[in-house]
Every structure is written in structure tokens, then in C-alpha cells.
Amino acid sequence: MASFADFHTRSIQDRDAFWAEQAKLVDWKVSPQQICDYSNPPFAKWFVGGQTNLCHNAVDRHLAERADQAALIFVSTETDQEKTYTFRDLHAEVQRMAAILKDLGVVKGDRVLIYMPMIAEAAFAMLACARLGAIHSVVFGGFASHSLATRIEDASPKVIISADAGSRGGKGVPYKPLLDEAIKLSAHKPAHVIMVDRKLAPFTPVAGRDVDYAAERAKHMDTVVPCEWVESTHPSYTLYTSGTTGKPKGVQRDTGGYTVALAASMPHIFEGKPGGTFFCTSDIGWVVGHSYIIYGPLIGGMATILYEGLPIRPDGGIWWSLVEKYKVNVMFSAPTAIRVLKKQDPALLSKYDLSSLQALFLAGEPLDEPTAKWISEGLNGKPIIDNYWQTETGWPILSICNGVEKAPSKFGSPGKAIYGYNVKLVDDQTGEELTGANQKGVLTIEGPLPPGNLQTIWGDDKRFVSTYWNTVPNKMVYSTFDWAVRDEDGYFFILGRTDDVINVAGHRLGTREIEESISSHPNVAEVAVVGVADQLKGQVAMAFAIAKDTSCLTDDAARKTLEAEVMKVVDSQLGAVARPSRVIFVTALPKTRSGKLLRRAIQAVAEGRDPGDLTTMDDPAALQQIVDLIKS
Ligand code: AMP
């Protein structure tokens, strides 16, 4: 076994040879001619000249060896369904979905938007797009019509695939009315909508536009749809994520680089073996779901569990019962979910045979020590591997790579820089690299970004450069927008975002998006949204708003009424996922003399901390008002 340090050094210093080796983990129709073309920084092209297909690598290529092995295990504790699809079954279902898309005119390069709950058809949909070389854009089911509309407009899909409803805690959550509303709001109209009817919420199809999945599928039981071989650099998907500005960014991923990156991550990071089982509890609407519910495990020849439901229903042992039943080897979740489980009876962990489990990976938000300790003890010391990454990168930047070299974890640290990532901590004021131990800086990555990372922002190369590469003075490096320190052993510790992004239960939200939504309420003049530390969710959004007409705010009950109304606006536009925990009405917001909102100061006082240097503040009474309100 190579030492991890050597492995990492080789990936940077002998980059092309290193990645040429990893590229052997996937099937190519035409082998790459050039490993990395970085002649036009910061745009990196990986495996240039190569032709491949993501669906082929995830499904078809396993048929020879493991056609009858489980590929997709769909479990819904919402609808009490449980079904295992072998690679042969999955191959057939994906072709049926691909045939429907083809009938509707979808060809290579077309966009297909997927707005679906966690059901097997969502996986078929993603893989069917990849099969055709169509570019999918999955929108998280928790987003409401306004969020969905901005994504429809930006991705301009030919077809949307959706369902009548999701389900949460046993209650149907209709999707179709939100989708119809979003299409109405969007300037772009899809030609067709494929509707998976789960019979959870009655709906009226739009004539000429909506097609019924079950009826169309029945026409294609044996239709063969070959994989479309695409250039390595052909976009496989876009996935929208939040940043500082209100408009979400369509993170665009390639095909070849992404396939290789995921294929390599299976042995090196996750120690996942063909024939094993992977259980990632995320949602397909997030990057972790793309990479480690759908593509990564399947590319690695593993079965993957797609779970619809809560972690505590029917009880807090449900996930562990699945680990036992399906002999899960690798599990991937988020700290928030573990904090939820921590409130349950600890005996639920020891009730099941978890001997198959090798490790639990956690990502998406900081992993606090009590949670890490609790789950580590509960799993009898099995490795708990905190790993750090972003929608943009598609796979981890920081982690322990036990498949390369076994290494201990340190509480509070997601480990070291992973192979392929030339991570640098830099001073945000000077751009100078910080090489000493325990110096705080912005975590940046020197280009080229490794395979699997974003190619650009969909339709906006300029924004890609200005957003990520032009933020540090005197240096063109990719900014993660996270503060971090590195200790003397090379372990990183993430200290929080440098921008206006907050992380609620592992969900990344732009405070500006929430502010824009709240401002659309007719009685809101101005608002500041900040992330406030929360024991369960890591952070929650808190809004401080100025009402246009204060005459209605006569007492606490009236304030509560307006607060509830504002929350309803956010629910209906962005989705409950973005709903602030409180909307507190104030008469002024703290600003600098030049009129910039002092969000950091608001956040500090909302968390009961010292707001720090306030010399540029215009009206100290505005902040004092917030201090008093928080105290009361
Ligand atoms: P997303 O793009 O939704 O995956 O969110 C990415 C952001 O989540 C990062 O920039 C970090 O701020 C945060 N994040 C992800 N993983 C971790 C982790 N393991 N520890 C601390 N923060 C994390």
C-alpha cells in the first residue's frame, strides 16, 4: 500500500500519469487522447478525445458479471414499498424511461429537469438521461414553485419528469400543483411533462403536455435503447446551488471526468467493493445523492439503497434495520440526521447486527464532537469519517482515505486534502499562502480542479470565473468560500463560510434568496437574514424585518400573525426548507455608513456573541434593539 502522502504528491506532481491510471477504472468507447487540457485556465478539460457514457459505466458494463446482483434497492417507509432491482432489471427500466424520453424528442444535449420524490423512477430518470447524453437537472423536491421556476428558466428543459406527490411522515406532499405553478411562472415552457402517478394526490393532466409514465412504459417493455457515446467533456448534468447573489448557479459537470472521479473514490475513499451495498441517506436533489446514491455505488458495481422516509419512522432503528437486512458495507449520512437519531433510544443501535458495516461517512456540515462520539460509541468504534466537499466539486475535497492508507480521524476535522486537490490556505486580504500550522485562511484549490469538479456555471462562463476564481487578491485560485485552519499533521478544520451562505441541516441556502422572498411580502420594507447556531440543525435562518406599515404591529399576537404570513410566503416560493425559524420585526437594521447591511454583527448578537468592531456602523441603536429583542 502506497503512503497517502506519496499518493497525494503523485496526483499533483505527476498529474496526468496519476489520472491516466484512474481512468482505467471505467469503460471508454474511445480512449482519451489527452488526460488534462489546461491551456485555457481556469477551464479544465479532462480525458479529452475520450468517449464514454455514464449510464454504460453505472449499469450496462456490469451485466456480464453481475446481471442478477442487486443494483437498486428501493425502500419507502412512507408507502410501505420495498423492491430490489437487479442490474438486469435496472437496465430494462432505464431503457424504458429512455425510450419514453426519445419518443418525446429528447436527444443528446437536451436538458431534462427532474422534480421527483425519492422513488426508483427518479433513479431511472437520471440514468436514462445519461444514457441518451441528455443533461439532467434534478431539483430537490423540497423546493417550491418560485425556486423551481428559476431553475426551469435557466436550464430550459425540453421535458420535465415529475410525480403527483412525495410523502413525509405518512402524509402526501403534492408536487404537481407546485410544478404547474412553476411552469406558469417560468418564461421557458417544457414541451412535455412525464408524470409518475403514485396515486397519492389526484391531479388533472395538462392536455397535450403531460404524459402518463405507466402508459408510456407499457409500450416499451422490450425496447432497446443503446447508450449514446459522448465526448468526455460533454455535460452530464447541472445542479443548482446557492451563493451570495439571489440567483442560483447551475453547476455543470462533465461526463468522463465525473465517471473517473467517482470510480476512483469507491476504492480509495469509501473502500466499497463490487457486490457490496452502499446506503447513502441523502436525497437525489443534492450533490451527495447524485454521487453516492446513484452514480458512485453503481459505477463501483455495488447495490445502492434509495430510501424514502424519515430516519425515525416507524422508529429510530429503521436505518440500522436496513443495514442488517441488506448487509450494508458503506453508509453515508449527514450530522443532522445523526443528531436526530441521538435523541432516540440508544438501544435501537445495539438491537441490529451491524457487522457488515465498515464505516459511516458524514458530510454536508460541521460534525460536532458530541455527535461524533455518540455515533462512534454506538457503532462500537467503527470508523466515523467526516468528509468535506461541495456541490461544485462533486466528490470529497477533504477526508481520510482509508483505501489508500489507514489513518486515524481527529474529532472536528474532515481530514486531509484528498488526492487530486491542490489545496492552499490563503490570506483573504493579501492572497498570500499560509503554510504554518493553525493559521486561519480561506480554503482554496489551485487549478486545474481535479476530474469530476464543475466545468463551469451553466450558460455563464464569466460568472464561473468571477464567482470562484477572482475572489482572492493577486491569485487565480478556486475559492471554496470556507474559512479553515490546518494543524501540524495536515488535518483541516472548517470554520464556516466567508460569504452569505448558511447551512441548515446540511442544506445550503443563500440568505439573499430568502431575503428576496421575504421582501416580496407586501408589508415588508427591508429584511436581513442570518444563520444562527442551532443544536439540532447546525444553523437555522433567522430574519429581522422592517414592516412598511407598523400600525398593524400592535401587540405580540399581531406580530406573530405577520410572522406566520411571511413564513408562508417563503414556504410557497422557496419551500419549507428555506423557512426562517423566526421573523423578528424591528424598526431599523444595522448598517455601515455607506449603507451596507451588517449581517455578521446581526448574526453575532443573535448568537449572543460580541459583534466585534463596529466603527463603521451608522446607527448603533439598530443593533442594540436586536440585542434587546434577543434577550427578551
Ligand atoms: P453543498 O454545496 O450543499 O454540499 O454545501 C457545501 C458547504 O457545506 C461547504 O462549503 C461547507 O461550508 C459545508 N460543508 C460540507 N461538508 C462539510 C464538513 N464535513 N464539515 C464542515 N462543513 C461542511
Whole-angstrom Cα distance, residue 261 to residue 256? 9
Chain segment 323-333, per-residue pLDDT in tens: 999 999 999 99
Whether 326 contacts 352, CB under 8 Å: no
Whether 73 contacts 80, CB under 8 Å: no
User: Is the CB of 493 within 6 Å of ligand 1?
Assistant: no
Find the mean pLDDT for residues 164-182. 96
Chain segment 83-93, per-residue pLDDT in tens: 999 999 999 99
Identify the bridge partners of residue 367 per DSSP, sorted by sequence position: none
Give the ligand 1 atom nearest the CA of 241.
2
Show contacts of 594-602: CB within 8 Å, 24+ apart.
Answer: 597/528, 598/623, 599/500, 599/511, 599/528, 599/530, 602/528, 602/530, 602/544, 602/626
Q: What is the DSSP string of 441-471?
A: EEEEEPSSPPTTS--EETT-HHHHIIIIISS
The model's confidence at residue 273, banded by pLDDT at 50, 70 and 90, is very high
Determine the pLDDT at residue 552. Answer: 87
Q: How far is CA 66 from the centre of its chain?
A: 29
Other CB atoms within 10 Å distance of the CB of residue 153 = 15
User: Is the CB of 386 within 6 Å of ligand 1?
Assistant: yes
Query: In this model, does residue 309 exceed pLDDT 70?
Result: yes
User: Is the CB of 283 within 6 Å of ligand 1?
Assistant: no
Distance 447 CA to ligand 1 centre (A): 20
Distance 66 CA to ligand 1 centre (A): 35
The model's confidence at residue 2, banded by pLDDT at 50, 70 and 90, is confident
Whole-angstrom Cα distance, residue 136 to residue 234? 12
CA-proximal residue: ligand 1, atom 21 (nearest): 366
Show contacts of 562-567: CB within 8 Å, 24+ apart.
Answer: 562/523, 565/521, 565/523, 566/518, 566/521, 566/524
Chain segment 577-597, per-residue pLDDT in tens: 999 999 999 999 999 888 888
Locate 426 and state its grid cell.
Answer: 490563503
The model's confidence at residue 246, banded by pLDDT at 50, 70 and 90, is low
Whether 441 contacts 425, CB under 8 Å: yes
Distance 417 CA to ligand 1 centre (A): 14
Find the mean pLDDT for residues 16-24. 98
Chain segment 608-629, per-residue pLDDT in tens: 999 888 888 888 899 999 999 9
Distance 480 CA to ligand 1 centre (A): 9
Q: Hey, which of 240-249, 294-303, 599-608 has the most confident mean pLDDT? A: 294-303
CA-proximal residue: ligand 1, atom 1 (nearest): 390
Q: What is the DSSP string of 161-204?
A: EEESEEEETTEEEE-HHHHHHHHHH-SS--SEEEEE--SSS---
Distance 387 CA to ligand 1 centre (A): 9
User: Is the CB of 391 within 6 Å of ligand 1?
Assistant: yes
Distance 69 CA to ligand 1 centre (A): 34
DSSP category for residue 472 = S
Determine the pLDDT at residue 73. Answer: 99
Distance 323 CA to ligand 1 centre (A): 26
Name the 3-class secondary structure at 129.
Answer: helix
Pocket test for ligand 1, best of 365, 443, 499 (most atoms within 8 A of CB): 365
User: Is the CB of 299 within 6 Å of ligand 1?
Assistant: no
Determine the pLDDT at residue 274. Answer: 98
Find the mean pLDDT for residues 300-321. 97
Distance 192 CA to ligand 1 centre (A): 35
Distance 534 CA to ligand 1 centre (A): 16
Chain segment 328-357, per-residue pLDDT in tens: 999 999 999 999 999 988 889 999 999 999
User: Is the CB of 364 within 6 Å of ligand 1?
Assistant: yes
Pocket test for ligand 1, best of 508, 509, 511, 577 (most atoms within 8 A of CB): 508
Find the mean pLDDT for residues 385-391. 98
User: Is the CB of 447 within 6 Å of ligand 1?
Assistant: no
Residue 541, C-beta contacts closer than 8 angstroms, at least 6 positions apart: 502, 504, 509, 511, 514, 529, 530, 531, 532, 578, 579, 580, 581
- The chain-wide mean pLDDT, for the chain, equals 96
Whole-angstrom Cα distance, residue 119 to residue 535? 31
Find the mean pLDDT for residues 288-309. 98
Whether 158 contacts 104, CB under 8 Å: yes
Compare 192 and 555 and report the one with higher pLDDT: 192
Sign of the CA dihedral 557, 559, 562, 563? Answer: negative
Locate 624 and state its grid cell.
Answer: 442594540
- One-letter amino acid for residue 156 of the chain: S
Pocket test for ligand 1, best of 360, 386, 389, 513 (most atoms within 8 A of CB): 389
User: Is the CB of 414 within 6 Å of ligand 1?
Assistant: yes
Determine the pLDDT at residue 1. Answer: 59
Whether 169 contacts 131, CB under 8 Å: no
Chain segment 179-210, per-residue pLDDT in tens: 999 999 999 999 999 999 999 999 999 999 99
DSSP category for residue 317 = T
Pocket test for ligand 1, best of 138, 286, 388, 511 (most atoms within 8 A of CB): 388
Identify the bridge partners of residue 424 per DSSP, sorted by sequence position: 444
DSSP H helical ranges for 495-607: 511-519, 556-573, 599-606
Chain segment 404-445, per-residue pLDDT in tens: 999 999 999 999 999 999 999 999 999 999 999 999 999 999
User: Is the CB of 327 within 6 Å of ligand 1?
Assistant: no
Distance 390 CA to ligand 1 centre (A): 6
Give the ligand 1 atom nearest the CA of 414.
19
CA-proximal residue: ligand 1, atom 6 (nearest): 390
Pocket test for ligand 1, best of 503, 504, 509, 511 (most atoms within 8 A of CB): 503
Whether 235 contacts 255, CB under 8 Å: yes
Whether 129 contacts 290, CB under 8 Å: no
Q: How many residues does the chain have?
A: 632
